[in-house]
Amino acid sequence: MNTNGYFNRRQTEILQTLFRGESKIRVENEISLPDYCSDVNRIIRTDVKIKQTEKKITPHSGGLFLQLDGVAIFNVIYAADKRGSEGAPESFTFYSDFTHTFKVPVDSADGFNVSNVGVYVEFAGENSNGKLLGPRKLILRTDVVISAILKANKSFIYYDTTDGSGDMQTKGEKLIKASFVGTDEREFTVNEKISIPMDSPAIGKILDCDAKFFCEKVIPDNGSLRFNGLISLTCLYTADESGQCVGIVQPIEFEQGFDLTEVTDDSFCDIQLFPTLLKVDYDMNETGENRLLLLELHYRADTYIFRNETLLSSVDCFSLKNEVALTSEKASTEEIRQLTALNSHQTSRISLNDDSLKGIESVKGRVEFKDCRLVGDTVEVSGKLRLFMIGVRNDGTLIPLDESVDLEFKFSEGDIGCELIGCTRVELSGGLKSVDCRLKEEHLDIEVDLQCKIGLFARDDRLFIQDIEILAEKDAPIKSPLTFFYPDAHESLWDIAKLFNIPERKLLEKNVFAGETPPVPVVIFK
């Protein structure tokens, strides 16, 4: 029997993780030095930055292909060969393109909206090195680790509720569910002029320059979006007179806003920032020294928009006149409780057992988050900090140093700005904002600032009505003008109404309920 006269079958969308995967590919090239470079005496360090150049999703018979194109940017710092002796450090940069495709299995019957997919991608370079084949020939290699997460909406069927005045009686439950609204990608530019402090030597030659972008705060408004960002700039150069290697770290704060019609003031927005182009030069200051770094930084902002919606869905029903056959299905939905970026300052000490080391000229690092879990009223995080340094020995020789440090820390509810009661899942991403290493005797004192992007979710598992069939009329009930019913502790108002085939409102007319807890006994009038 058709139920349209009672209540409506509705369709909405719920946020789901469509795919989560990781791959590792090898990038390797044999190269010759450009003509403007001196011969190589010894490789000091090979660093790699990985950048995405394009991502493309295409459907196929079994699901989706996610194609990711990128470039591995090798920066080789080496000691120049000066007639067989080790000369001052120099550098060169080499670009190597790569591509990788993830096969994402999706069954069309699963109800996913594959036309609107949020793609999160992270790249990291591992085991990067350069091998010298001759004074002007090298082999450069790195392992590119690619992580991808795809989020999309899945079709969700539910029935709305009745007001209880007709034959059909429904039990409605409030549901807060998240959905994916869409993505936005656009590019911006930051121009900056940085003065080298007077206690550092003037610039002779720039060896390496790197910029990491962090989104600190997102402010959604109706039809627009604004965010605060931070650039962590590291620069390694040789002094103009001594040839000494000098490293500097400079934070750069900035703001950016843009119109985005899909955004409302109650949207949850996640923004990822990626450098796309870095132009660096230097110039003289007012005293005629090369102490000005001139920066043109291009970056891409990937915006992911989510929204919570409150529904009132029927989870059970009965008819006062007819038998009813229900088809129910268990479904899992999630509410977004919080998306926020938090900072964590960590310190550590590493023993080196090397008394020939007199200082650290350059340090880069990467944080690898291993675990993030909800424990009581805290979020506990563990991971590993990897450090890639250039040290200087007592005789002035530059050497590579690689170290790692285990990390463990936690965030409280006060840090996060959200109660953790009811939260069932936490997501974590982020990176290393800054690192400082100080050599003291035979150990390194390390201070790092981390950004942790925390997503908190509350999962809801319950049965939802998927189909209703109205059957034959019910047998005439045995009429008793008055009944006293003694419910069990687990029986609710709805359970009693369904058992006696009467509307809930009639029970409320003759009984006083403390919330949903029935009195003992329950007085029932037919």
The pLDDT tens digits for 288-305 are 999 999 999 999 999 999
Bridge-based pairing of strands 85-105 and 224-239 is unpaired
Give the integer Cα–Cα distance in Å for 185 and 276: 13
Does pLDDT of 5 surpass 60?
A: no
What token pair was written down for 441? Answer: 């005797």
Which residues, in sequence order, are bridge partners of residue 350?
444
Give CA 343 to chain center in angstroms. Answer: 15
Per-residue pLDDT band at 6 (split at 50, 70, 90)? low
Altogether, the residues listed in the chain come to a count of: 526
Q: Where are the beta strands (DSSP E) in 352-488?
A: 357-375, 378-393, 398-412, 425-440, 443-473, 482-485
Model confidence at 66: pLDDT above 50: yes
Average per-residue pLDDT for the chain: 92
Q: Rounded distance, CA 404 to CA 391, Å?
A: 15
Report, as an integer, the average pLDDT of 238-263. 92
Average pLDDT over residues 71-91: 92
Angstrom distance (rounded) from CA 216 to CA 514: 47
Residue 54 — pLDDT band, cuts 50, 70, 90?
Answer: very high
Domain residue ranges of the chain, discontinuous segments joined by +: 16-154, 160-320, 334-459, 476-525
Q: How large a percentage of the chain has pLDDT more than 70?
A: 97
AA letter at 250? Q
Phi, psi of 424 (to 5 degrees): -120, -15
Can you give 251-277 as a three-state secondary structure string? EEEEEEEEECCCCCCCCEEEEEEEEEE
The whole-model pTM stands at: 0.91
Contact present, 162 and 188 (Cβ < 8 Å) = no
Residues 206 and 89: beta-carbon distance below 8 Å: no
pLDDT tens-digit readout, 441-499: 889 999 999 999 999 999 999 888 888 888 999 987 666 788 888 888 888 889 999 99
Burial group, residue 194, by CB count within 10 angstroms (0-12, 13-18, 19+)? middle
Average pLDDT estimate for 417-426: 94
The CA distance from 154 to 10, in Å, is 14
